[in-house]
Structure 1
């Protein structure tokens, strides 16, 4: 699936829940989304807390949560994640690690 389709699906979902409305109990502010992103990433880490493997379905759910918050945070800031990833890969290609 293309990134644009994922972004649109995320946007449609959040809008359908009313989370962009000013009176939303779950305001989709950059701060709240950044916090949620980190919390979901911690849930990914938790799956590996006591071993080197994780339940595939649980991992897929948590990774999807991370991506949804990432997509939404990027959208609010007008960041094209596809372009950002490619630019970062190009910069990293020029780097050297010890």
Structure 2
């Protein structure tokens, strides 16, 4: 399993559009094959910056999602709201304490 972190920065006036759409599609993303966890964070100092954290069983699962009609519709909508190029990382979790 690995973690996918995506940083997105939005035009301030587009944040409500993003959040409304995320509310609609979050369960679909979470239920994508191989997805085990999904969270959305907002930066405390810059309300235009958001992060998604998702856990994926395999890289193939993430690639299947990224090549799906669901991702295409999500990304087509979301990318129009950005005020900066998004950044993404795939990382392995080393330690987790609860």
Q: Same fold (TM over 0.5)?
A: no
Which gives a bigger RCO, structure 1 or 2 (Cα 8 Å, sep 6+)? 2
Which structure dedicates a bigger proportion of its chain to helix?
Answer: 1
Which structure dedicates a bigger proportion of its chain to strand?
Answer: 2
Q: TM-score, normalised by structure 1?
A: 0.32
Q: TM-score, normalised by structure 2?
A: 0.32
